[in-house]
Chains A and B, each alone.
Chain A
Amino acid sequence: MALDRELVGRSYPPSAVYEVGRAKIAEFATAVGALDPVHLDADAARAAGHPDVIAPPTFAIVVSLDAAFVVLSDPEVGLDYSRVVHGEQKFTHHRPVRAGDRLVATTTIDAARTVAGNDLLTARVELAGEDGEPVCTAVSMLVARGA
């Protein structure tokens, strides 16, 4: 089904808080082979000027993709989840994600169009601290392949 352009600009309520832990950062960093000590050792991170270990640049996806997927459960969007693939991803880091962060994700539909029978939907997820400090803007373009 063709996506409704009226969806553009639609926002969803903020997510529950995601608390970033050192162990999760270490697990993710190890899984992608990012073994810089700033990801693994709080003392090394502090020596580099960070308050605690920082996450590798794509770690934000752990929080942001679930937030982007809220659009898929919106009945007015009507995308078939089983046909959805990840088309594009962009991160803009306002500062590195770090252990101790309590992140809240707010999702907005930035674009919706249908091209050659495929539905393309761009969800922008703003990750911020509980106090509103901007941390990362994660933009996911999701593609629902035409039947």
Chain B
Amino acid sequence: MQEHEAIVRAENLHKTFTLSKKQQKIERTGEKRRVAVNGLSFSAYRGEIYGLLGPNGAGKTTTLRMLSTLIRPDGGDAFLCGHSIVKEPQRVRDVIGFMTSELKLEGFFTPDYLFDFFGAMHGVDKATLAARKKELFSRFGIDKFSAVQVKNLSTGMLQKVSLVVSIVHDPQIVIFDEPTNGLDVITAKVVTDFLEELRRMGKSIILSTHIFSLVEKLCDRVGILIGGKLAAEGTLEAVAQGDLERTFFALYEGEGGTL
């Protein structure tokens, strides 16, 4: 894979958050600032699924939010399809599809309407949009529910619609934060199948997770993120060394983490 072009290149990303008094109280800490991402660099290649594996608070979501230009890094930069997240956030948003449980679709609208709306928001022309809708709705079985209000869809179907809407503009890169978090086994299967399908379609995928089995099932390469830093990176085989879970906890303890 590595001989392929690096489609995502993160260079020395830094992000620090100011903790409110309320947050300090909840977390029982006196620190006013928290380093979420500390000098993170990694590359993901075209056509692969890259997994950021780490415990809660490791900086996975912050990293993906920076890559999707929802938040700005305090230092460093990342390039997606050659576009800087700092200098060209709008162009970056044109080449990515971002999925997270925090991004929702308005329940009042139908999948049909939302697909057209988000297509227009990404500047997709009507003819392309119609063809793409037909193809994606048919491939993921949404066509029968295209006129049903989103609020009336089953969880699995809603997840499918969210996934399809996120790639309405045929992005080269799909960024997915905790793809199976909080989902039942059926919906989780819908998502993992979808990601494999995207890989077959030649898309590059970056996902974050704390679930070892998901990484083992889907990822071509993996970066282990602990305390905002990359503790290990490489192909799944190279990083896992036969047992991903054992390797992860060894790295975790090595970084000063306690079990």
Q: Please indicate whether A and B come from the same complex rather than being unrelated chains.
A: no
